[in-house]
Amino acid sequence: MEELELTPTQAKKAIQFFFKHMPHQPILLCGPSGIGKTEITRQVVSENRWEYLDIRLAGMLPEDLRGYPKAETWTDVAARRSLGVQGVSRPQIEFVLVDKLTRVFESEGPGVLDFEELNRAHPDVHQPIFQLIGDRTMDSRVMGDQWRIIASINPDDDSSYMVNAMDMAFVRRWLFIRVKSDVESWLEYAQKERYHPMVLEYLRANPSMLYKSLTPNLTLMPAVWERASKLLYSFSNMQEIKTKGLIPLQLVVGVSVGHEMMEMLFKSDCPTISPMDVIREYSKNEKLRLLVLEKAEAGHMCELARLADAVSILMEKWDMNIVLFALDLPNDTCQMLISRLRSSEVDISDPKMEEALAKLYIKIGDFGLETAI
């Protein structure tokens, strides 16, 4: 049977479509670990401002999901009668639901119930979910009308994953979406989320490394690159990365990739551009401006990020030199510079400065920081 594979961006659009037009259709995302299945769902939830409830099923027992059985006594039956509550005239067994899941039965929504690691759960756990996706009930409880259901699994045809088989009657009730890695859409997302320039530059030069198994214990994937970005941002500046960053980076992305990323950093370093030259004479030095523009065109993100970092440390206020420098930087590097300088003084008494700032506001608006400075 043919299955359509979607990039994360395409998968997100498909989810948005079905959540809008067929909100009661449960959706099952299938893809390798770390490819971004959960992040796709969270983006949809965030953009719609819905509630989000995630249930991690690995290691769960049926009672963890359905609730624990509690038997009534004859005293409970008598109490029901005295309160005028209708029902059978003998003790019943009810299920006391775990607190986390009560929300979908107590509210109408809108919200998304996300079952993660569905095929890592014991098959007995599937039965209460079967009932939930079939008639949107669990025992006597009815799910809120505006709650959507989504789940995620790892591929069962990949020997890298230890997963449990799922009954075909259970699987066919889901809308199946297989997610594949896609460098372009991930880089677009990573740039929007301000991933470290070293990560962006490396993956632009080596797109096949977005998702790649290196050793039995290390697979490069979007989640690993997010970790690498956080690591690189934990250093105070590029110089500290050069002197202290190699081993920590290799622990995250592997020995060879760590070496390659550091080599790119050192190769892109150019002592001919001084941060003080930018601060003192950028608006009047055409050769300096041309050099920055050439490096931006060549994709030397690490060098420009290092330069912008140094400028942000040494400058005292926004002036024409700094504004023109920011205008010439690539968007993600400009974004980093502006985010660090929001509290700096800005002098707009000069009409030319006011005009340059207007251009910078337009540039900022192009990547979503309308009120950066």
Report whether pLDDT(149) > 90. Answer: yes
Can you tell me the distance from the alpha carbon of 253 to that of 255, in angstroms, rounded to the nearest whole number? 7
Q: What is the CATH number of domain 5-59+104-180?
A: 3.40.50.300
pLDDT category at 367 given cuts 50, 70, 90 is: very low
Can you tell me the distance from the alpha carbon of 340 to that of 286, in angstroms, rounded to the nearest whole number? 26
With CA atoms as reference, report the closest residue to 321 among 275, 365, 364: 275
Can you tell me the distance from the alpha carbon of 352 to that of 357, in angstroms, rounded to the nearest whole number? 9
pLDDT category at 369 given cuts 50, 70, 90 is: very low
Across the range 345-363, mean pLDDT stands at: 76
pLDDT at 63: 64
Can you tell me the distance from the alpha carbon of 194 to that of 187, in angstroms, rounded to the nearest whole number? 10
Report whether pLDDT(35) > 90. Answer: no
With CA atoms as reference, report the closest residue to 100 among 52, 149, 47: 52
Model confidence pLDDT, tens digit, residues 311-329: 887 777 788 888 899 889 9
Can you tell me the distance from the alpha carbon of 307 to that of 327, in angstroms, rounded to the nearest whole number? 14
**Residue ranges of domains in the chain:** 5-59+104-180, 182-268, 270-373
What stretches of 181-269 show up as alpha helix (H) in DSSP?
183-192, 197-205, 222-233, 238-244, 246-253, 255-268
Across the range 217-233, mean pLDDT stands at: 92
Contact 35, 222 (CB under 8 A): yes
Across the range 12-26, mean pLDDT stands at: 96
pLDDT at 93: 57
Report whether pLDDT(38) > 50. Answer: yes
Contacts of 345 (CB under 8 A, 6+ apart): 316, 317, 318
User: DSSP letters along 109-137, please?
Assistant: --EEEEEESGGGS-GGGHHHHHHHHHHSE
Contacts of 326 (CB under 8 A, 6+ apart): 334, 337, 338, 360, 363
With CA atoms as reference, report the closest residue to 292 among 266, 318, 311: 311
Contact 149, 27 (CB under 8 A): yes
Contacts of 181 (CB under 8 A, 6+ apart): 7, 8, 32, 35, 210, 211, 221, 222
Contact 181, 39 (CB under 8 A): no
pLDDT at 263: 82
Q: Measured in whole angstroms, how far is the alpha carbon of residue 276 from the centre of its chain? A: 37
Can you tell me the distance from the alpha carbon of 228 to that of 341, in angstroms, rounded to the nearest whole number? 24
Model confidence pLDDT, tens digit, residues 50-95: 999 888 877 666 666 665 455 556 665 565 566 565 666 666 655 4
Contacts of 363 (CB under 8 A, 6+ apart): 326, 327, 331, 334
Contact 128, 62 (CB under 8 A): yes
What stretches of 67-125 show up as alpha helix (H) in DSSP?
74-82, 103-106
Across the range 7-34, mean pLDDT stands at: 92
pLDDT at 319: 84
